[in-house]
Amino acid sequence: MGVTLALTLTVLGSACVYLASPNQKWLTRALPGRPALVAGCLLLAAGVAAWIAVLQPLAGFFVALHVAMVCLFVFPYSAALRSFGRKNEHAE
């Protein structure tokens, strides 16, 4: 339960940070920059706190950091793969 909550908060926080970027490709328009970024940071902070509650402080911090890192490169790649697939469909 604790791990699921911590993971969800970290993934959601990373998604908010990504969606706040003008370079995001998930939505036709990026979320309003500052509020989305603040929400993302708050969710990430809550994620860190939740991981620390499940593990020890140092391990909790590092797990949150690594999960966020994975999310922050997987999100742009997932969007790029989608647009790559669409381009191939149009080409065919």
Partner 1 sequence: MIRAEIVKHYKTVHTWTGITCGFALFIAFYAGALTMFQGPIARWASPPAVGVAAVSLDNASRLLELVAAASPQARKDGIKLHLRGHENEPARVTWEEDEPHEAGQPHGHVHWWGTLNPDGTLLAKHEEPSELAEFINDIHMHVGIPRPWGAYFMGVVSLLYGVALIAGVIILLPSLVKDLFALRVGKNLKRMWLDAHNVVGVAALPFHIAMALTATALSLSGPLWSAQEKVIFGGKQAILDNLDNEPFRVPKPTGDPGAMMPPAQLLQRLKVQVPDLEPRFLVFKNFGDKAASVRVPGAQSGYVGDTHLGGVMLSAVTGDVLKDASLPSRQDPDRRASETFYGLHTGQYGGGTITWAYFFLGFSGAWLFYSGNLLWIETRRKNARKGGKVEQSRSTRLLGSATVGVCLGCVAGLSLTIVAAKWLHGHVADLNAWHAYIYYAVFLGSVAFAFALGAARAAVQLLWLCAVATMAIPLTTLLAWTLPVLDMWAHGSAATIGVDVVAFIGALCFAWMAIVTARRVKHGPADSIWSARAGALSPTE
- Which residues contact partner 1 (rule: CB under 8 A)? 3, 7, 18, 21, 23-25, 51, 54-56, 58-60, 62-63, 65-67, 69-70, 72-77, 79-80, 83-84, 87
b/e per residue, 52-64, with b = 16+ CB within 10 A? bebbeeeebeebb
Q: Please, what is the minimum distance in Å from the beta carbon of residue 42 to partner 1? A: 19
The single-letter DSSP state of residue 23 is: T
Q: Please, what is the minimum distance in Å from the beta carbon of residue 39 to partner 1? A: 17
Q: Are 44 and 7 in contact (CB under 8 A)?
A: no
- Cβ-based nearer residue to partner 1, 42 or 81: 81
